Amino acid sequence: MAESKALSAEIVALFDTIRQQAQAYAEAFSRVEELLQQLQRQREQLLTEVEHFHQQRELLIQQFRRQIEETVSRLTERVAALRDIITRVDQVEEMLRQVVQLPEHFAGQVAEALAQAELKVRSTEQKVALLLRNLQEGLQNVEQRLHVIRLLCQRDVSELRQQIKSLREELDPTQLRQQALQSVELRLQPLEHQVTELATLVVQLERSLTERAPPPEMPVVVAQQEEVVITRLRNELQRVSGRMAHLEKQLLLAFLLFGVILLGALLFLVLKGNP
Amino acid sequence: MAERQSGWLQQWYFRRAVPRRFYEELAEEGILYEFLHEHCAELLQKDERFRHDMYEILLRCSPRPVPGLERDLLRELSEALSYFLEYTRPWRKAKR
């Protein structure tokens, strides 16, 4: 077009200017296209990153939510534990208050229990002393009766000897034998009665000792003291029982001796009556 | 340089490689533009390819300036620039 003669120079210059501007525009448009493509690529990259960020955000949100739920549950458990601890602390404080008040109450109870125990110990000691006195009196009675029985036996033996002597001199041996037997039977009956009374007295004493058991609701100290007392009483009872057995043995020996003497007298009479 | 080579090649092509037509002879005589508007006005108006072919012959073979051709080319240039301005209006508005 530059070499064309169909256009005037002004028109050709105008077209050249416009061509140059069009080329500049084309270059600018190509640059804009490149920039647009670059922006498109950046946009796609940004969209990818945004999608990645969205995914990370969702993951982080889920993770944070999970952590928050765990933290909240942990805090809830700790709050419950704290409430429990506070309740227990209140209970402990209440118990401490009661413990602080306890010595006075306990001192009063102890003093009252000691007074009751002293009273019971004194009453028990009095009962034991009374029982021991009764036992001693019973033993003295038994000894006195035994002594009386012994004296009676000696007297009867002496009387029998005298009667035997007189009978030997005066009466017939058969009558003498019958009279002697009757008199012996008559004298043995009160002795038998006295022995029976002694046996019943011993049984009553044993029962009275066994019925002195401590009550179950007594305090420990009083129960121990009463147990000691009961042990002493049992020892005393055993001692009394031994003494009673000894007395029974002596009584048996006395009876045996009396029987032997009686048999000897009878044999003597029989042998003397049948020369 | 490339433009000069393409102009020389085009001149050689139309003078030696292809046969001459009578439109080129009319253009060398300086009466092609009047001939076209007098006998081929409808074809020139409707057929764009023919019109551009005739413009090329006028530009290449006319020995003196043709005011009508200049007016037509300026009108087409004005239409193209109007289209360009209309096409680039959103960017220009955004830039403002």
Encode pLDDT of B5-28 as tens digits. 677 777 777 767 777 888 999 999
- Measured between beta carbons, the chain B residues lying within 8 angstroms of A14 are 74
CA distance A140 to A132: 12
CB pairs under 8 A between A and B: 38
Query: Where in the sequence is the domain holding A208, given as residue range(s)?
Result: 110-273
Q: What's the confidence (pLDDT) of residue A180?
A: 67
Is pLDDT larger for residue B29 or for residue A98? B29
| Residue in B with minimal Cα distance to A14 | B74
Does A90 fall in a domain?
A: no
Split into its structural domains, chain A has a count of 1
Q: What's the confidence (pLDDT) of residue A216?
A: 47
Mark the ranges of chain A whose per-residue pLDDT is less than 50: 213-218
Does A127 fall in a domain?
A: yes
Q: What is the ipTM of this complex?
A: 0.75
8 Å CB contact between A173 and A268 = no
Q: Is B51 touching A (CB cutoff 8 A)? A: no
Closest approach of B21 to chain A, Cα-based (Å) = 18
Query: pLDDT class for B63, splitting at 50, 70, 90?
Result: very high
The upper half-sphere exposure of residue A242, i.e. CA atoms within 13 Å in the direction of its Cβ, equals 5
Q: Is B19 touching A (CB cutoff 8 A)? A: no
Residue carrying the six token digits 């002795």:
A191
8 Å CB contact between B60 and A4 = yes
Query: Which three-class secondary structure state does DSSP give residue A76?
Result: helix
CA distance A173 to B23: 217
Closest approach of A51 to chain B, Cα-based (Å) = 29
The CA-atom distances, in angstroms, between A108 and each of A104, A114, A263 are 6, 10, 75
CA distance A114 to A120: 10
Q: Do B66 and A7 touch (CB under 8 A)?
A: yes
Give me the DSSP letters along A155-208.
Answer: HHHHHHHHHHHHHHHHS-HHHHHHHHHHHHHHHHHHHHHHHHHHHHHHHHHHHH
Q: Do A3 and B7 touch (CB under 8 A)?
A: yes
Write down the mean pLDDT value for chain B.
86
Does A21 fall in a domain?
A: no
b/e code A99-126 from CB counts within 10 Å (16+ = b): eeeeeeeeeeeeeeeeeebeebbeebee
- Measured between beta carbons, the chain A residues lying within 8 angstroms of B84 are 25
Q: What angle do CA A95, A100, A106 make, to 5 degrees?
A: 100
Does A89 fall in a domain?
A: no
Does A1 fall in a domain?
A: no
